[in-house]
Amino acid sequence: MRMTRAIACTGLFLLAGCRAKDSRPLVAIVVPSQDNPYFKAEADAAAARALELGYRVRVDAHDDDAYRQDNLVDAAIASDAKILILDNAGTDASISAVRRATRAGIAVFLIDREITARGIAKAQIVSDNDQGARLVAEEFVRSMHADKAERSDYVELLGRESDTNAQVRTAGFHAVLDKYPALTMVAAQSANWSQAEAFSKTETMLQAHGEIRGIIAGNDTMALGAVAAVKSAGLKSVKIVGFDGSPDAVATIESGEMQATALQPAVLISRIAMNEADAFLKTGSTGKPEIQVIPCELVVKKNADMYSNFEKKK
Amino acid sequence: MSDKGPRRFAGIVLLLLKLRAVLVLGILLLAFSILTPSFLTANNLSILAKHVAISAILAVGMTFAVLAGGIDLSVGSVAGLAGMVAGGLLTIGIGGHISGVAVAVGAALLVSVLVGLLNGVLVSELGVAPFIATLGTLYIARGAALLLSHGKTFPNLAGTAAHGSTGFSILGQSFVLGVPLPVWLMILIAALAILVATRTPFGRHVYAIGGNVRAAKLAGIRVERVKLLTYCFSSLCAGLVGLIIASQLESAHPATGESFELNAIAAVVLGGTSLMGGRGSIGGSLIGAFVIGVLADGLVMIGVSEFWQIVIKGVVIVMAVTVDQLQTKLQARMISAPPRRDPARVAV
């Protein structure tokens, strides 16, 4: 009994501590996860910019679970957030959550992924996945000399197949690759964005298909898994490309074990979103169209030293 | 006399049910060898075994917990945590001092065992249901792994000679007599576990506790201590798996091992170990792990899409559990119907 009471009292004190007066308006930042370097970089950049602009910040992750995202939006409404910076949990599944937040008077800014509905969010700022995928695919073709070679077999590692970005990227890859008759895709497997899964699936695919000359991956973590698998198989000339521009991938490109990646300007997007959110609160308008598409940049060995943590060095 | 035929038939069915994992494994191996010519090559089998080693080592550890009537849901998270502990020590170190491989591996395994100890204390001393206790530590360990790096990956675990931190990649990438080291570790751990389960008092105590915990207690078995040790062993195996994966990838990612516990449980169940405890074997779990591994790799080799792979894996697990129920019922019927029972006399 006494124990319970003591715990209850401590809890109350802690609550009271948290409720200490802070008059700065609250920015809620909700991203898919914080254990992925990309989402972490975008969350950190948005939070840093918000603090600079004089806001209070709370960062949460919905783990790509629309239900969890719903709860986090409710929490943002309950805690009277003024701005919601959201990397959403699904094109269609997120519409109702965004609408609810907007109705509650929160200015919602979507980053990285769009929703299909227009006119609800104040802005949707995304990187151009299609353009980025084409950039990477073109570099992939160049590195394998597929425009000249007689036949080049390659495999594709797809992201989580239910994810829109995975679909857009693979469509972008094939818009370029399918133009080259010498290129033959001998296998395609989803590795669910995961390095460990990409490692074991690539090892297996290398066994099933003899002469694989290239591996094109839907993101950098999977590309790095493929790099490890190719290394473990003792192969040297397999060309590997990824997508995202993660720091580990950029370092691997510098070392020559990976050919290219498309850097998504995550940091830039977060900063733009936060700047426009601030402008919206102050002037009632972002001054920009709702949909803003920011192009990706190709990172290869030559320019790899110019990029770090999802942004171009100044 | 008249019921001898059906009884023999039931006996054969029971034997087939008991050997189901071996049968399924045989069928899968045969099917994939026909479908993909490169399946049955030494090189591929070596890679296959390396992939299987991951879930097999987890499953062997899990088997003891399940045999004693428990379950360990935390293994995947513990694997992730172990990799992160080693990764952190090898790349950042403590207070700027980068650790050597032995220290990093030792510390990672120690942390794993501590999680097991926590599981054991929660389950056996505090009486928390194993499912709940290990679900809790699943989250605690995963959270701790994320906290260690603030969610980042520790890359470049190959180490530098200057810090004396090279050699970590040996664990997951080297070969002994042409066989990958992780496979040797799997064989070693499985052999040790079979020995412990079948030849030592501890092993018999585990079965006794799973069969009837009350009877075991009355027979003077130190139930708490035995349960505690099963969780420690399970966590130790999980920690080793985390180290192997980190060594293979030369990087440690905090989300490593997500849903591994489900693979391990599936392997255990496929191998004929009852989730109620008391019945099953280490060898069975090993075969179960091979079934899952062969299925996963084989489907990738013939190019089946991810969605179908998930469905097929689910079907195999459901079938295994259904067959398990069938076996239990059949066994129960054979016990309740002794051969010389005369139905007429019983009726009178």
3-state SS assignment for residue B38: coil
For A248, residues 6+ apart whose C-beta sits below 8 A from its C-beta are A37, A220, A224, B153, B155, B251
Angle at B113 between CA B110 and CA B117, to 5 degrees: 135
- The answer to whether A248 faces chain B, any CB pair under 8 Å, is yes
Which residue of chain A comes nearest to B303, CA vs CA? Answer: A187
Q: Is the pLDDT of residue B344 over 50?
A: no
CATH of the domain at B196: 1.10.3470
pLDDT number for residue A261: 96
What are the CA-CA distances from residue A247 to residues A169, A243, B50, B80 (Å)? Answer: 20, 12, 29, 21
B188 domain-assigned: yes
B138 domain-assigned: yes
pLDDT number for residue B347: 39
CA distance B300 to chain A (A): 7
Question: Which of B306, B308, B311 best probes binding to A when mutated, by most A CB atoms within 10 angstroms?
Answer: B306
B347 domain-assigned: no
B6 domain-assigned: no
Q: Same domain for A68 and A149?
A: no
Alpha-carbon gap, residue B91 to B152, rounded angstroms = 13
Q: Same domain for A227 and A144?
A: yes
Domain boundary among A98, A121, A144: A121
Mean pLDDT over each residue of chain B, to the nearest integer: 88
Nearest to A35 among B50, B151, B307 (CB): B151
Q: What is the dihedral of CA B140, B82, B113, B71, to 10 degrees?
A: 60
Interface contact flag, B38 A210, Cβ < 8 Å: yes
Q: Same domain for A65 and A100?
A: yes
CA distance A237 to chain B (A): 19
B339 domain-assigned: no
What are the CA-CA distances from residue B115 to residues A220, B40, B107, B229 (Å)? Answer: 32, 40, 12, 12
Interface contact flag, A192 B47, Cβ < 8 Å: no
For A270, residues 6+ apart whose C-beta sits below 8 A from its C-beta are A42, A43, A45, A46, A49, A85, A111
Q: How much is the average pLDDT of B314-333? A: 80
Q: What is the 3-state secondary structure (H, E, C) of chain A?
A: CHHHHHHHHHHHHHHHHHCCCCCCCEEEEEECCCCCHHHHHHHHHHHHHHHHCCCEEEEEECCCCHHHHHHHHHHHHHCCCCEEEECCCCCCCCHHHHHHHHHCCCEEEEECCCCCCCCCCCEEEEECHHHHHHHHHHHHHHHHCCCCCCCEEEEEEECCCCCHHHHHHHHHHHHHHCCCCCEEEEEEEECCCCHHHHHHHHHHHHHHCCCEEEEEECCHHHHHHHHHHHHHCCCCCCEEECCECCHHHHHHHHHCCCCEEEECCHHHHHHHHHHHHHHHHHHCCCCCCCEEEECCEEEECCCHHHEECCEECC
pLDDT number for residue A33: 86
pLDDT by residue for chain A (314 residues), tens only, comes to 555 565 555 555 555 445 555 789 999 999 998 777 889 899 999 999 999 999 999 999 998 888 889 889 988 998 899 999 999 988 888 898 999 999 999 999 999 988 888 999 999 999 999 999 999 999 999 998 877 777 899 999 999 887 788 999 999 999 999 999 889 999 999 998 889 999 999 999 999 887 899 999 999 999 999 999 999 998 988 999 999 999 999 999 999 999 999 999 999 999 999 999 999 999 999 989 999 999 999 999 999 999 988 888 86
Q: Chain B: which residues have CB within 8 Å of chain A?
A: 36, 38-39, 41, 43-44, 47-48, 50-51, 146, 150-153, 155-156, 173, 245, 248-251, 253-256, 297, 300-303, 305-307
**DSSP state letters, B179-204:** EEHHHHHHHHHHHHHHHHHHHSHHHH
CA distance B111 to chain A (A): 21
Please name the amino acid found at residue A175.
A
CATH of the domain at A101: 3.40.50.2300
Q: pLDDT higher for B19 or B67?
A: B67
Alpha-carbon gap, residue B126 to B119, rounded angstroms = 10
**If you search the block for the tokens 């129960």, which residue do you land on?**
B332
Alpha-carbon gap, residue B211 to A197, rounded angstroms = 37
Q: Is the pLDDT of residue B187 over 80?
A: yes
For residue B306, list chain A residues with Cβ-Cβ distance below 8 A: 158, 161, 189-190, 192
What are the CA-CA distances from residue B219 to residues B201, B215, B222 (Å)? Answer: 13, 6, 9
> Encoding tokens for residue A202?
């690539």
Question: Which of A192, A207, A215, A258 best probes binding to B when mutated, by most B CB atoms within 10 angstroms?
Answer: A207
A234 domain-assigned: yes
Alpha-carbon gap, residue B136 to A230, rounded angstroms = 38
pLDDT number for residue A2: 57
pLDDT number for residue A15: 52
For residue B45, list chain A residues with Cβ-Cβ distance below 8 A: none
Alpha-carbon gap, residue A227 to B158, rounded angstroms = 14
Strand-strand pairing, B179-180 and B175-176: antiparallel
Q: Output DSSP code: residue B99.
A: P
Interface contact flag, B249 A199, Cβ < 8 Å: yes
A4 domain-assigned: no
B11 domain-assigned: no
Interface contact flag, B51 A187, Cβ < 8 Å: no
CA distance B146 to chain A (A): 7
Buried b (16+ CB within 10 A) or exposed e, B12-41: eeeeebbebbbebbeebbeebeeebeebee
Q: Tell me if ipTM is over 0.95.
A: no
Domain count, chain A: 2
Q: Same domain for A74 and A139?
A: no
B213: domain range?
A: 21-334
A93: domain range?
A: 23-121
* Nearest partner of A136 among A26, A225, A64, A214, judged by Cα: A214
Nearest to B38 among A189, A200, A208 (CB): A208
Q: Is the pLDDT of residue B297 over 70?
A: yes
Domain count, chain B: 1
> HSE of B222 in the Cβ direction (CA atoms, 13 Å)?
7
Spatial contact of A70 and A89, defined as CB atoms under 8 Å apart: no
pLDDT number for residue B338: 54
**DSSP state letters, B254-313:** TTTTTTHHHHHHHHHHHTT--TTSS---HHHHHHHHHHHHHHHHHHHHTT--HHHHHHHH
B242 domain-assigned: yes
What phi, psi does A184 have (nearest 5°)? -125, 120
A269 domain-assigned: no
Q: Same domain for A202 and A102?
A: no
Counted across chains A and B, CB pairs separated by less than 8 A come out at 87
Domain boundary among A96, A121, A146: A121
Interface contact flag, B51 A36, Cβ < 8 Å: no
pLDDT number for residue A215: 97
CA distance A288 to chain B (A): 33
pLDDT number for residue B345: 43
Domain boundary among A121, A150, A167: A121
A270 domain-assigned: no
Alpha-carbon gap, residue B306 to B142, rounded angstroms = 26
pLDDT number for residue B137: 96
A47 domain-assigned: yes
Interface contact flag, B249 A207, Cβ < 8 Å: no
Q: Same domain for A259 and A172?
A: yes
> Encoding tokens for residue B317?
């697990």
Interface contact flag, A248 B155, Cβ < 8 Å: yes
* Nearest partner of B129 among B62, B73, B167, judged by Cα: B73
Interface contact flag, B300 A196, Cβ < 8 Å: no
**pLDDT above 90 covers what percent of chain B?**
53
For B71, residues 6+ apart whose C-beta sits below 8 A from its C-beta are B62, B65, B130, B131, B134, B265, B275
A148 domain-assigned: yes
pLDDT number for residue A21: 59
Spatial contact of A274 and A107, defined as CB atoms under 8 Å apart: no
